[in-house]
Amino acid sequence: MSRVASTSPPEGALIPERHPQSPATGTQIPSHFAHCFGCGELHPTGLHLVAHVGEGVDITAEFTVTESHQGAPGLAHGGLLSLAFDEALGKLMWLLRAPAVTARLETDFLKPVPIGTTLHISARITGQLSRKVYSEAVGRIGGADGEIAVRAAALFVIVPMKHFLENAPAEYMEALKKNPHLLTFVDPEFDINP
């Protein structure tokens, strides 16, 4: 069996600088795709996670658990909580302006998260080495300073934008040609060749 990638930054990893054209501190990070289950405003049962840029290479995010997100009766499904952290940690890539994919995600569930609860997530980049970006997050219930219910750590790998564009369905690519605003992370100045 091969070794599993670590979510801890290795020796030599540095905290990266924010890209000069990253969204401004305090602004809402846009959805990368309106139909994304994690952050898309047009997905009927999605998380509708909303994230805001922090001071450094960090963000805050929130989503409210609905009946569509439950596993055990009245409680958020663990897989959907992991999805929320994958989405929040992925939003950190907006600060680097680099497209990336999740290589590994670890999630620890410390307390149940009931339906109707808003989960307050804070996430930050903990290091970068070449194309590998390391990050961690905590999710609190009862407010932004409430009890930690979930925590996560992740490893993302920066990839060329063509990774996403070559794997998109043909009908989506046709729609994108007619309406380029549908894919908000594609802009002429985005670093697409790391």
Of residues 87 and 162, more confidence is placed in: 87
pLDDT above 80: residue 182: no
Architecture of the domain defined by 28-180: Roll (3.10)
pLDDT for the residue numbered 102: 96
Identify the weakest region by mean pLDDT among 82-86, 132-136, 163-167. Answer: 163-167
* Domain spans, the chain: 28-180
State pLDDT tens for residues 92-127: 999 999 999 999 999 999 999 999 999 999 999 999
Per-residue DSSP letter, 161? T
DSSP string, 88-144: HHHHTHHHHT--EEEEEEEEEE-S--BTTPEEEEEEEEEEEETTEEEEEEEEEESST
pLDDT above 80: residue 177: no
Angstrom CA distances, 142 to 102, 109, 138, 149, 187, stand at 29, 16, 13, 10, 38
State pLDDT tens for residues 9-39: 999 999 999 999 999 999 999 887 778 888 8
